[in-house]
Amino acid sequence: MNIIYTFGKRNLIIDKILNNIGETYQIEDHLSNNFQYFKILNILTTNDTILIQFENDEIIFQRLISFSLPPIEINLPIKKIKFISCGFNHYHFITNVNSVFGLGDNNFNQLGILNKKQINNQINNNQTGWIDTLQPINYFTEIGSNIVFISNGRYHSIFIDSHGKVYSCGSNEYGQLGLAQDIDSSVENGIREITPITFLPSNENFVKSSSGDFHNLLISNEGRVYSFGSNSYGQLGLYDESDEKDENNDLTQNIPKLIKSLSDNNKIIVDSKCSSCHSVLLSNENQVFTFGRGINYQLGHSDDETCIAPTLVDDLSDYNILSMSCSSTSTLFLDDKNRLFYTGGYSTLNFINDNNNNEMEFNITPKPIPQIVHLNFKPNHLHTHHSNLNFIW
Summarize pLDDT for 178-193 with one digit per residue, the tens.
Answer: 998 755 445 555 899 9
Are 223 and 246 in contact, with CB atoms under 8 Å apart?
no
How confident is residue 25, by pLDDT bands cut at 50, 70 and 90?
very low
In angstroms, the CA 110 to CA 191 distance is 9
The verdict on 7 and 141 lying in the same domain is no
The verdict on 41 and 164 lying in the same domain is no
The verdict on 54 and 178 lying in the same domain is no
pLDDT average, residue stretch 85-93: 98
In angstroms, the CA 140 to CA 148 distance is 11
The CATH number of residue 278's host domain is 2.130.10.30
How many C-beta atoms surround the C-beta of residue 259 within 10 A?
27
As a whole-number percent, the residues of the chain with pLDDT over 70 amount to: 86
Which of 135-144, 147-156, 249-258, 264-273 is predicted least confidently?
A: 249-258
Which of 53-67, 95-109, 172-186, 310-324 is predicted least confidently?
A: 172-186
The verdict on 247 and 374 lying in the same domain is yes
Burial of 129 per CB tally in 10 Å (0-12, 13-18, 19+): exposed
pLDDT score at 146:
98
pLDDT score at 350:
53
In angstroms, the CA 363 to CA 343 distance is 5
How confident is residue 33, by pLDDT bands cut at 50, 70 and 90?
very low
The answer for residues whose C-beta is within 8 angstroms of residue 125's C-beta and 6 or more apart is: none
pLDDT average, residue stretch 358-369: 83
pLDDT score at 241:
73
pLDDT score at 351:
53
Q: Give the model confidence (pLDDT) of 198-236 as tens digits.
A: 999 999 999 999 999 999 999 999 999 999 999 999 999
Of the residues 23, 57, 75, the one at which a domain ends: 75
Of the residues 43, 75, 107, the one at which a domain ends: 75
pLDDT score at 30:
40
Beta pairing class for 147-152 and 340-347: unpaired
Are 130 and 141 in contact, with CB atoms under 8 Å apart?
no
Longest C-alpha distance within the chain, in Å?
A: 64
- Closest residue by Cα to residue 285 from 300, 270, 301: 270
The verdict on 105 and 56 lying in the same domain is no
In angstroms, the CA 374 to CA 7 distance is 15
The verdict on 273 and 224 lying in the same domain is yes
Beta pairing class for 81-86 and 72-73: unpaired
Which of 47-51, 171-175, 355-359 is predicted least confidently?
A: 355-359
In angstroms, the CA 23 to CA 285 distance is 38
The verdict on 44 and 95 lying in the same domain is no
How confident is residue 244, by pLDDT bands cut at 50, 70 and 90?
low
The verdict on 87 and 31 lying in the same domain is no
In angstroms, the CA 30 to CA 118 distance is 43
In angstroms, the CA 261 to CA 253 distance is 17
The verdict on 147 and 169 lying in the same domain is yes
In angstroms, the CA 282 to CA 242 distance is 24
Are 303 and 294 in contact, with CB atoms under 8 Å apart?
yes
The verdict on 83 and 55 lying in the same domain is no
Mean of the per-residue pLDDT values for the chain?
Answer: 88
pLDDT score at 125:
72
How confident is residue 7, by pLDDT bands cut at 50, 70 and 90?
confident
The verdict on 260 and 366 lying in the same domain is yes
pLDDT average, residue stretch 73-100: 96
**∠ CA 325-276-334 to the nearest 5 degrees?**
10
pLDDT average, residue stretch 160-180: 96
What range defines the domain where residue 319 resides?
Answer: 79-391
Q: Domain count of the chain?
A: 2
Of the residues 56, 75, 94, the one at which a domain ends: 75
Residue 22 confidence (pLDDT) above 70: no
pLDDT score at 50:
96
The verdict on 337 and 367 lying in the same domain is yes
Residue 29 confidence (pLDDT) above 50: no
pLDDT score at 44:
98
Report which of residues 58 and 276 the model is more confident about. 276
Residue 123 confidence (pLDDT) above 80: no
Residue 15 confidence (pLDDT) above 90: no
